[in-house]
């Protein structure tokens, strides 16, 4: 550790909260924050200023910690996305881990800078500015990978590849609402006074503290919510609110607005978190729909007498050809795979698989 490192960090922190940092200084500060070897030093620098806090000022001018906390997340995320993703990917994971932990550096920022003992004399102005807007926060899982997120209230979210959640900076202050596009598993922190609400297209799911999975891709014609533990309430367009119990699943049709509630084995619908696709006496239409989601292909069943087929299987790292050959070996089907096809002037961007009865 160099002797001038504390002074350097102190100057950078001061410039950051005065909003005077250059892009180079911002990146330097974020890199310093992401290095675990600096965590103790940074905390000592910040905590050393807590002794100067005026407790009377705290009582007379309470600070909206949750909004400031979330706004810091927005700022950090915004600055990171502007930089090279490849260069900062490792640091980004570390930074977010530090920010979301209860005794994180970001939490100390709030105490040191926004109560009254920070480096800068402009803390009140900064606090007002940060609290004046309700900005959106968007978290996306890249294609080909899952992402795990811990929200400000302690709720844990696992996002499937290509999925997104969006919420606002008043989360956990005025509400616990978020928007989902894609698939996610939620482990909701309990708060009886503030329900956790997921808007998944035309289906809204409300929970107090529970574990459940939601599948809601825009391009699919259905939305699924599967309850593993606890209780959730849901409502769809044109339907009255319903209650789902442990081990149940609701399937909402976007086309007909019909709601189907059925008993299921939740582990089958959360196996994607282990990179598995599990089928358990699953009808062929649903099985092919799930396979199509995993392998990014579309299916067309041209033989109606195949609709009575059901499959029980588990797939992990098989290719789509291996999957189809397995299905073919245990049932009277055959198939053909078409790529970059055009039917009646309609171009299929995904590979298309025609399934028919084997002669």
For residue 130, pLDDT beyond 80: no
Residue 115 clears pLDDT 60, i.e. is over it:
no
* CA within 13 Å, CB half, 135: 19
Strands 352-357 and 298-301: parallel
CATH of domain 276-357: 3.55.50.30
CA dihedral 266, 268, 269, 275 (to 10 degrees): 130
- Provide CATH code, domain 135-270: 2.60.120.1440
Q: pLDDT tens, 57-92?
A: 444 444 444 444 444 445 554 444 444 344 444 444
Question: CB atoms < 10 A from the CB of 303, how many?
Answer: 14
d(CA 337, CA 296): 13
Exposure b/e, 8-43, CB count within 10 A at least 16 = b = ebbebbbbbbeeebeeeebbebbebbbeeebbeebb
Residues of the chain with CATH 3.55.50.30: 276-357
Total number of residues shown for the chain: 359
pLDDT in tens, 318-345: 999 999 999 999 999 999 998 865 555 5
Question: What pLDDT digit, counting tens, does each position of 283-314 carry?
Answer: 999 899 889 878 888 899 999 999 999 999 99
If you average pLDDT over residues 212-235, what whole number do you get? 92
Global confidence as pTM = 0.56
Q: Averaged over 169-176, what is the pLDDT?
A: 90
Inform me whether the pLDDT recorded for 191 exceeds 70.
yes
Parallel/antiparallel/unpaired status of strands 136-140 and 164-168: antiparallel
In the chain, ranges of CATH 2.60.120.1440 domains = 135-270
What is the structure's pLDDT at 36? 61
pLDDT at 148 over 70: yes
Q: For the chain, what percent of residues have pLDDT higher than 70? A: 66
What average pLDDT does the chain have? 76
């Amino acid at each position: 550790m160099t002797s001038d490192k504390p002074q350097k960090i102190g100057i950078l922190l001061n410039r950051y909260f005065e909003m005077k940092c250059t892009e180079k200084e911002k990146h330097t500060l974020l890199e310093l924050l992401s290095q675990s070897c600096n965590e103790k030093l940074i905390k000592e620098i910040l905590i050393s200023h807590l002794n100067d806090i005026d407790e009377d000022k705290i009582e007379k001018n309470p600070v909206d910690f949750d909004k400031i906390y979330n706004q810091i997340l927005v700022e950090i995320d915004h600055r990171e996305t502007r930089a090279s993703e490849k260069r900062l990917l490792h640091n980004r994971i570390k930074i977010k881990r530090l920010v979301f932990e209860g005794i994180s550096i970001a939490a100390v920022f709030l105490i040191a800078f926004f109560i009254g003992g920070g480096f800068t004399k402009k803390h009140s102005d900064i606090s007002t500015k940060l609290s004046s807007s309700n900005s959106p926060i968007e978290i996306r899982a890249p294609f080909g990978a899952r992402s795990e997120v811990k929200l400000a209230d302690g709720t844990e979210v696992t996002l499937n590849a290509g999925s997104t959640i969006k919420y606002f900076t008043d989360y956990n202050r005025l509400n616990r609402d978020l928007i989902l596009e894609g698939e996610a598993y939620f482990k909701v922190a309990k708060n009886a006074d503030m329900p956790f609400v997921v808007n998944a297209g035309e289906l809204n799911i409300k929970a107090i503290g529970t574990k459940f999975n939601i599948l809601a891709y825009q391009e699919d014609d259905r939305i699924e919510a599967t309850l593993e533990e606890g209780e959730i309430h849901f409502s769809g367009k044109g339907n009255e609110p319903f209650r789902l119990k442990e081990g149940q699943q609701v399937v909402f049709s976007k086309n007909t607005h019909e709601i189907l509630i059925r008993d299921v084995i939740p582990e089958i619908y959360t196996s994607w978190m282990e990179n598995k696709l599990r089928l358990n006496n699953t009808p062929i239409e649903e099985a092919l729909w799930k396979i199509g989601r995993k392998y990014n292909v579309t299916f067309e069943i041209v033989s109606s007498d195949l609709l009575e087929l059901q499959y029980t299987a588990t797939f992990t790292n098989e290719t789509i050809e291996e999957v189809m050959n397995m299905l073919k070996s245990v049932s009277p089907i055959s198939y053909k795979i078409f790529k970059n096809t055009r039917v009646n002037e309609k171009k299929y961007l995904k590979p298309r698989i025609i399934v028919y009865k084997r002669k």
